[in-house]
Structure 1
Amino acid sequence: MTRVPPISANPALAAVLTIAASAFAAGTTLLAKALGTGALGPELHPLQISHGRFLFAFLAISGVAAMMRPTISRPAWGLHVGRSTFGWGGVSLMFAAAAFIPLSDATAISFLNPVVGMLLAIPFLGERIGPWRWGSAAIAFCGALVLVRPGAGSLEFGALLALGAALSMGAEVIFIKLLAGRERPFQILLINNAIGLFISTCAALLVWRMPTAAQWAALAGIGVLMAMAQTCFINAMARADASFVSPFFYMTLAFAALYDALIFGVHPDRVSWIGAGLVLTAAAILVWREARPRMHQIP
């Protein structure tokens, strides 16, 4: 098997890239909610929304490929199919959940996926997770649970959809990490979106309805934002362990709250601030812990 030259480890850059990816991902969910709740015209089915995500992401990435003319070298098709299947499932479930429950709740529940990814990294990637990472993951998990507001009516059908999205996207993290050491990031993006487009097209044909002009624009926005999120996240995974990168994706919770406030006028309450504070504390612990060995190496 041919391996691409390794990319130098850079936990700080990986953290920045993951936070950027989370901002873009939260934007896709915001647009999906508008499409699924009739804010931009007749409601679109989540399967059609996820199809738009893959369609326009593929168009954006293939346009770049036409200019760059990258060489495609020995793709690991099994890993690509696995990654694309779990990715399509996670995106579709998340878009469906956003139409049933508040955006902040859907995001909070679905982004238990970093914990799933960290746990799966132990048997499938052979990563060793020390007490600091376990502790930070536990803090982040508690923050997510606070934001879910157990007992406040969140655990309904929409919440179950969001939980399914978390499990699916957590499994996708493992496939991304396995691919990151074998193939170049752009090749991974191109093949993933091609396979995802095929899967989502087959599913969308069952529920298709012609979108309005505003809906087409929103679908295009979802695709472009998701392509940007994928680019940032895959490059982050190539520069640090999955167990380090994954918890930073919890920042999507903060971006979702910000978008809620700016677009829908929904402001975080005390519970939201407590949950977000726990998540950010966990991320700060990870950054501090990863930076210590590098600081000690400086003359």
Structure 2
Amino acid sequence: MPSQSYTFKAPAPNNVQGAAYIVMCCVLVAMTTLIARALGPQIAGEAALHPVQVSWARFFFAACTILPIAMMRGVTLNDTPWLLHLGRILLGLGGVIGMFAAAGLMVLTDATAISFLSPLFSMIFAIFFLRETIGPWRWLAAGIAFLGAMVLTRPGLDTFQPAALIALSAAAFLGVELIFIKLLSGRERPLKILAINNGVAALIISIAVIFFWKPPTPIQWVMLVALGVIMVSAQSLFLKGIAMAEANVAAPFFYTTLIFASVYGWIVFNEIPGLYSLVGAGLIVCGALLLTWRENLARKKMPGDTPATQ
């Protein structure tokens, strides 16, 4: 029996409200990185928790939040493309673990900026997986962003950041995950995608975390619970935002995450971005915005296109 297809009737565009939802999502996404940094070795020292344990909290408590909502709204598992979901889940797990590991080892601004490379990795991998043709403008965007990554990592210099390689690997995992999200979008309801992603990922990582478990302190427990609830709230706000605002308006607002991460790092950890951080982050954001602009132009030529669900 073929997989059931769903047609999503988008509401009339409300760019102001949609952009507001995206910005609120960015406030929360930056907050999850802040929590991951606070639980990492540079801040917590010997009391630090392993990135796998931090990632466990992100998925476990997110699942505890989203699964009851999905059940109340009658989400079923009929005609579920499990291979697509499983591929997305495994890649997402690798990306989240790497992202939280990097956040624990480098300043928030740098870790957040490198995470913005995931759409560029997605573009490159789409050549092989989706047989997409990449034009010169998108290659230019990739080149600009890659240059920014080189500025942030500074290979060959005494200031080289090994943790940036972890962040780059995480961005690559998340980039391939975007391809699976694209394949799932339009075939599955957004709430079902979120429920399966968080539920199955929580089950998998609950087994893996046994090998890395360290008893958290009471304040760490509070932070771990908050991490999961905040992340699923951010996902919900993102879905509302892209459903309300036009794609060319909504997408650039997601890069405000970098602003909030920088502010959090400055207020909480007294981390002031240096010249390399500002230049590297600026180049990455410029490349990502150029890619967003070109993809929005391409999307306008494809009637009935449905935005991807994060």
TM-score range for the pair, normalised by the shorter chain length? 0.7 to 0.9
Change (3 A) 1:103 1:67: same
1:181-228: CA deviations, max 9, x gaps?
A: 210110000001111101111111112122122111111121122213
Matches of 2:186 and 2:91, distance apart in 1: 19
Letter in 1 for 2:199: A
- Report what 1:117 is aligned to: 122
Q: Structure 1 unaligned runs (5+)? A: 295-299
Letter in 1 for 2:195: L
Q: Structure 2 unaligned runs (5+)? A: 301-310
Matches of 1:266 and 1:177, distance apart in 2: 36
Matches of 2:159 and 2:185, distance apart in 1: 36
After superposition, where does 1:33-44 map in structure 2 within 5 Å?
33-37=37-41, 39=44, 42-44=47-49
C-alpha displacement at 1:143, in angstroms? Answer: 3.2
Matches of 2:82 and 2:58, distance apart in 1: 22
Conserved in 1, the CA contact under 8 Å of 2:109 and 2:258? yes
Letter in 1 for 2:37: K
After superposition, where does 1:204-243 map in structure 2 within 5 Å?
204-232=209-237
Conserved in 2, the CA contact under 8 Å of 1:114 and 1:249? no
After superposition, where does 1:137-156 map in structure 2 within 5 Å?
137-153=142-158, 155-156=160-161
Matches of 1:83 and 1:265, distance apart in 2: 36
- Report what 1:185 is aligned to: 190
Conserved in 2, the CA contact under 8 Å of 1:115 and 1:247? no
Number of equivalent positions: 294
Letter in 2 for 1:272: S
1:147-190: CA deviations, max 9, x gaps?
A: 33444456454223222212211111111111112101100000
Change (3 A) 1:66 1:271: same
Change (3 A) 1:118 1:81: same
Letter in 1 for 2:40: G
Matches of 1:278 and 1:103, distance apart in 2: 17
Matches of 1:154 and 1:20, distance apart in 2: 34
C-alpha displacement at 1:248, in angstroms? Answer: 6.9
Change (3 A) 1:286 1:169: closer
Conserved in 2, the CA contact under 8 Å of 1:83 and 1:172? yes
Secondary structure of the residue that 1:139 maps to in structure 2?
helix
C-alpha displacement at 1:249, in angstroms? Answer: 5.5
Change (3 A) 1:153 1:218: farther
Q: Is 1:48 aligned to residue 58 of structure 2?
A: no
Matches of 2:186 and 2:233, distance apart in 1: 20
Matches of 2:186 and 2:116, distance apart in 1: 25
Matches of 1:225 and 1:292, distance apart in 2: 33
Secondary structure of the residue that 2:47 maps to in structure 1?
coil
Matches of 1:16 and 1:121, distance apart in 2: 30
**Higher mean displacement: 92-101 or 185-194:** 92-101
Match for residue 203 of structure 2 among 179, 198, 202? 198
Secondary structure of the residue that 2:211 maps to in structure 1?
coil
Identity %, equivalent residues: 45
C-alpha displacement at 1:20, in angstroms? Answer: 5.1
Change (3 A) 1:187 1:25: same
After superposition, where does 1:37-116 map in structure 2 within 5 Å?
37=41, 39=44, 42-116=47-121
Q: Is 1:28 aligned to residue 23 of structure 2?
A: no
Change (3 A) 1:144 1:158: closer
- Report what 1:297 is aligned to: none
Conserved in 2, the CA contact under 8 Å of 1:104 and 1:260? yes
Secondary structure of the residue that 2:234 maps to in structure 1?
helix
Conserved in 1, the CA contact under 8 Å of 2:114 and 2:281? no
1:75-111: CA deviations, max 9, x gaps?
A: 1110111111111111112212222333333333343
**Higher mean displacement: 227-236 or 58-67:** 227-236
Matches of 2:235 and 2:258, distance apart in 1: 17
Change (3 A) 1:288 1:246: closer
Secondary structure of the residue that 1:95 maps to in structure 2?
helix
1:114-158: CA deviations, max 9, x gaps?
A: 210122233433545444444344333333433334444564542
Q: What's the TM-score once normalised by structure 2's chain length?
A: 0.78
Q: What's the TM-score once normalised by structure 1's chain length?
A: 0.80
Change (3 A) 1:36 1:276: closer
Change (3 A) 1:80 1:286: closer
1:52-75: CA deviations, max 9, x gaps?
A: 111111011123224433344321
